[in-house]
Structure 1
Amino acid sequence: MTAEDEALVGGMANAEAVFRRGELVERPAPRNARAVHAYLVALKEHGFDAAPAPVGLTADGREQLTFIPGDVALPPFPHWAMTSSALESVGSLLRRLHEASAAVAVDTRAEWPADLADPEGGEMLCHNDVCPENVVFRDGCAAALIDFDYAAPGRALWDIAMTARYWVPMVDPESAAAFYPSGLDAAARLRILADGYGLSAGDRAELPGVIEEATEVCRAFVARRAAGGDPVYLRALAARGGWERWDRVQTWLADHRKTLTAALLR
């Protein structure tokens, strides 16, 4: 790191390892970096210009991407990132990604990570990690997506469910209070996200159940990291209430399934 480098904060997997160097971002390259880079190029060719453009790979295992200017929300998340209009714009941006991604052939030779992937698989690549730290805003609207490290084949509905977990958020009020502004109405916000995306009635009926499934996958992901001794996830698990919090979230989701479904279909 040189004096001209700017450390970029946010996220957990690459904490303290991402730097901006002028108009470039340099970060640890995922194992399938060449496949991810080809995907990013193809997205742009199919009209999606709201993602970084790959520049290259370094000899020491890092990747270089174009820097996307704008604002990124970090926890505790500010009010400007949690407005209804911001949420609606996240849904709209995700729809744009999926429309372009559906036109891009999946590289079946690549090792797409299974960590957060749709257990049912799919014929298009999903982002799988559209959390606030991975969305760039301009003028209060979602303008770009970054960090495609967990991209993998799946259903569009799975990606929407994963996004809802972070942005609604799909957690009990006690858990939400630790990182989100107070007073967020989960059922109403889930409807706003679905409206912003333009989700069909059939998919709306399925969404709460898929969110529960996605939460189970995320819990298993954290459990694997913790069991492997990953200090980042061990610290986060301890700071966020441990497994009791996960139990509370999953119980809350199951208890509110009918309420959430009614809000989506109203």
Structure 2
Amino acid sequence: MANSGAVHRDGAAVDRPAPPAAPALHAQLRALRAAGFGGAPLPLAAPVNGRERLTYLPGDVPLPPFPAWAMTGEALRSVGVLLRGLHDASAGLPRPADAPWSRELSDPRGGPVLCHNDVCPENVVFRAGRAHALIDFDLAAPGRRVWDVAMTARYWAPLTGETSRQHPAGLDPLARVRILADAYGLEPAARAEFAHVSREVAASCRAFVAARVARGDETYVQGLADGGGWARFDRVEQWLRDAAHDITRALTAR
């Protein structure tokens, strides 16, 4: 949505708007590949006139309404494994402190790994039903592992407390958040704070949409209206408060 109509494929390359942190991000993407993580595109050249060129990653990307194959437990497990691979590969990489990383959906506390911050289904490339790569790193920034896992769960569980028009019917969000956490290998301390971090994530997502609506971004104005307006954000935030104990129990029960 953030780059609606501005991303184009050119053979084996993708031409798209470059984020402000593109130089630092490009260095990270190259370092991730050198560290053995192949689940991200590679930059092909330095940004020119506010645009960048990245490698095109062939595969299947689920778009809403999300197909049933993309919402299976096995697909979700593969997302958790892929996210863990990103974080582990990035953990030892140097990151320039003065890089203009996006703050829009980033962990307000910062952290030791490169978080993608937008692992929605539309940003995951699948091959043979398994998550193969992440795309659209515009919102990436240093943060805590639990922040990125909670952001991912918001989209994939989904942690909303409501029936989604985008997801297949019958998904159990508490069971699915456990699947994601187990596949990722989320540590006990992170599981204990996960429900609280999920509420922080919800507030961050709300502020993200509000900023774009305030700027008159037609894509987000329409998306907000189609998604139920601010009342839906209110309901989701209330559900996360009410379900905090259940979320923690789902993540920590043996």
* TM-score, scaled to structure 2: 0.97
Match of 1:97 among 86, 99, 104: 86
Superposed displacement of residue 58, structure 1: 5.4
The answer on 1:82 being equivalent to 2:95 is no
Cα RMSD of the aligned pairs, angstroms, is 1.0
Q: Distance in 2 between matches of 1:185 and 1:24?
A: 38
Structure 1 SS opposite 2:170: coil
Within 5 A, what are the aligned runs for 1:128-143?
128-143=117-132
Return the letter of the residue paired with 2:19. P
Counterpart pick for 2:112 among 123, 127, 140: 123
Partner of 1:20: 9
Q: Which residue of 1 aligns with 2:251?
A: 264
Match of 1:5 in 2: none
SS at match of 1:63: strand
Q: Displacement, 1:57?
A: 3.7
The alignment partner of 1:183 has SS state of coil
Decide which of 96, 120, 124 is 1:107's aligned counterpart. Answer: 96
Q: Percent identity?
A: 57
User: Paired residue for 1:64, among 53, 74, 79?
Assistant: 53
Give the whole-Å Cα distance in 2 for the aligned partners of 1:201 and 1:31: 35
Name the SS for the 1:49 alignment partner: coil
Contact in 1 for aligned 2:116/2:139 (Cα 8 Å): yes
CA distances 1:145-197 after superposition (whole Å, capped 9, x unpaired): 111100111111101111111111111223x2x11000000110000000110
Q: Tell me the TM-score normalised to structure 1 length.
A: 0.93
**1:124, CA displacement in angstroms?**
2.6
Residue 246 of structure 1 and its aligned partner are, at CA, apart by 0.3
Deviation at 1:31, TM superposition (A): 1.6
Post-superposition shift, 1:243? 0.5
1:204 is displaced (CA, Å) by: 1.1
Secondary structure, counterpart of 2:142 in structure 1: strand
CA distance in 2, matches of 1:60, 1:261: 47
Distance in 2 between residues matched to 1:87 and 1:251, nearest whole Å:
25
Residue 210 (1) aligns with residue 189 (2): no
> Are the counterparts in 2 of residues 106 and 124 from structure 1 also a CA contact under 8 Å?
no
CA separation in 2, counterparts of 1:119 and 1:21?
A: 36
Q: Specify every segment of 5 or more residues in structure 1 that has no aligned partner in the other structure, as ranges.
A: 1-11
2:38 to 24, 32, 49: 49
User: Runs (4+) of structure 1 moved beyond 4 Å?
Assistant: none
Map of 1:188-203 to 2, 5 A cutoff? 188-203=175-190
Give the conservation status (yes or no) of the 8 Å contact 1:29–1:57: no
Q: Distance in 2 between matches of 1:203 and 1:145?
A: 23
Corresponding pairs, count: 253
Flag structure 2 segments of 5+ consecutive residues without an equivalent.
Answer: none
Aligned 8 A contact 1:101 1:124 in 2: yes
Q: Does 1:186 align with 2:211?
A: no
The 1-side partners of 2:68 and 2:231 are apart by 27
Equivalent residue of 1:26, what SS? strand
